[in-house]
Amino acid sequence: MKNRFKKLMLAIFAMTAVAMCVLALAACSGGYVEKLSVKGKMYYMVGDEFAGATLTVTYSDGRREQVDVTADMANGFDTTVAGNKTIAVVYGGKTVAFDITVSELYASGISVADGGKTEYLIGTQYADGDASINVSYTDGTVQTVPITGGMISGLDTTVEGEKTVSVKYGMLDTAYTVTVRYPYVVSATVASSTKSVYRVGDEFGGVTLDVVYEDDTSGSVTLTDIERVKGFDTTGIGPRTVRVTYRNRTVSYDIQVLKAIAGVTVKSSVGMYAKGDAFKGAELAVEYADGTSETVAVTPEMLTEFDTMQVGDRTVKLMFENRELTFGITVYGKFADDGGDNKIQVEDGDLVDMSGAQLQSGAASKFESTTKNAQNEEYSNGAEGSSTANISVQGNKIVIRFIAERAGKYKLGMRAQSGSDAGKSDVKVADAFDIYVNGDIKTASGVIQKGSATGVNWKDMTNWTLLDDLVGEIDIVAGLNEIELAFKGGTAQTMRFPNIDYFVLTAV
- Of the candidates 306, 316, 273, 315, which has an alpha carbon nearest to the alpha carbon of residue 479? 273
CB of 441 to Ca ion, least distance (A): 26
Interatomic CA distance for residues 315 and 329, integer angstroms: 6
Please state whether 121 falls in left (phi above 0), alpha (psi between -120 and 50) or beta: beta
- In this complex, which beta carbon is closest to Ca ion, that of residue 325 or of residue 383? 383
Rule CB under 5 A: say whether 47 interacts with Ca ion.
no
Rule CB under 5 A: say whether 502 interacts with Ca ion.
yes
b or e along 377-386 (b: 16 or more beta carbons within 10 Å of the residue's beta carbon)? eeeebbbeeb
- In this complex, which beta carbon is closest to Ca ion, that of residue 257 or of residue 500? 500
CB of 369 to Ca ion, least distance (A): 8
CB of 483 to Ca ion, least distance (A): 16
CB of 423 to Ca ion, least distance (A): 20
CB of 464 to Ca ion, least distance (A): 10
Is the sign of the CA dihedral 63, 69, 73, 74 positive or negative?
positive
Residue span 290-329 as binding mask against Ca ion, x where in contact by CB under 5 A, dash where not:
----------------------------------------
Rule CB under 5 A: say whether 348 interacts with Ca ion.
no
CB of 262 to Ca ion, least distance (A): 55
Return the range that interacts with Ca ion (CB under 5 A); candidates 151-159, 372-380, 451-459, 497-505.
Answer: 497-505
Rule CB under 5 A: say whether 466 interacts with Ca ion.
no
Residue from the set 130, 353, 484, 501 that interacts with Ca ion by CB under 5 A:
501
CB of 446 to Ca ion, least distance (A): 18
Return the range that interacts with Ca ion (CB under 5 A); candidates 111-119, 234-242, 341-349, 488-496.
Answer: 341-349
- Of the candidates 467, 460, 387, 403, which has an alpha carbon nearest to the alpha carbon of residue 435? 467
Rule CB under 5 A: say whether 503 interacts with Ca ion.
no
Residue span 137-176 as binding mask against Ca ion, x where in contact by CB under 5 A, dash where not:
----------------------------------------
Rule CB under 5 A: say whether 464 interacts with Ca ion.
no
Contact 75, 62 (CB under 8 A): no
Interatomic CA distance for residues 247 and 181, integer angstroms: 10
- In this complex, which beta carbon is closest to Ca ion, that of residue 258 or of residue 354? 354
Interatomic CA distance for residues 302 and 320, integer angstroms: 6
Cα distances from 62 to residues 23, 29, 55, 91, 325, in angstroms, run 21, 12, 16, 16, 118
- In this complex, which beta carbon is closest to Ca ion, that of residue 112 or of residue 383? 383
Indicate the burial class of 331 (C-beta count within 10 angstroms; 0-12, 13-18, 19 or more).
buried
Interatomic CA distance for residues 139 and 105, integer angstroms: 7
CB of 501 to Ca ion, least distance (A): 4
- In this complex, which beta carbon is closest to Ca ion, that of residue 202 or of residue 384? 384
Please state whether 318 falls in left (phi above 0), alpha (psi between -120 and 50) or beta: beta
Rule CB under 5 A: say whether 499 interacts with Ca ion.
no
Is the sign of the CA dihedral 188, 191, 197, 198 positive or negative?
negative
Give the count of residues interacting with Ca ion (CB under 5 A): 6
- In this complex, which beta carbon is closest to Ca ion, that of residue 98 or of residue 502? 502
Interatomic CA distance for residues 105 and 137, integer angstroms: 7
Rule CB under 5 A: say whether 350 interacts with Ca ion.
no
- Of the candidates 214, 194, 212, 217, which has an alpha carbon nearest to the alpha carbon of residue 204? 194
Interatomic CA distance for residues 131 and 454, integer angstroms: 105
Contact 253, 190 (CB under 8 A): yes
Contact 290, 201 (CB under 8 A): no
Size of the chain, expressed as the number of residues it contains: 508
Residue span 371-390 as binding mask against Ca ion, x where in contact by CB under 5 A, dash where not:
------------xxx-----
- In this complex, which beta carbon is closest to Ca ion, that of residue 460 or of residue 501? 501
- In this complex, which beta carbon is closest to Ca ion, that of residue 53 or of residue 311? 311
- In this complex, which beta carbon is closest to Ca ion, that of residue 94 or of residue 401? 401
Helix then strand count (H, E) for the chain reads: 4, 44
Return the range that interacts with Ca ion (CB under 5 A); candidates 67-75, 370-378, 483-491, 496-504.
Answer: 496-504
- In this complex, which beta carbon is closest to Ca ion, that of residue 211 or of residue 415? 415
Rule CB under 5 A: say whether 365 interacts with Ca ion.
no
Return the range that interacts with Ca ion (CB under 5 A); candidates 127-135, 252-260, 345-353, 400-408.
Answer: 345-353
Q: What is the DSSP string of 393-412?
A: -TT-EEEEEEEESS-EEEEE
Residue from the set 345, 417, 420, 481 that interacts with Ca ion by CB under 5 A:
345
- In this complex, which beta carbon is closest to Ca ion, that of residue 214 or of residue 468? 468
- The residues that touch Ca ion, with contacts defined as CB under 5 A, are 345, 383-385, 501-502
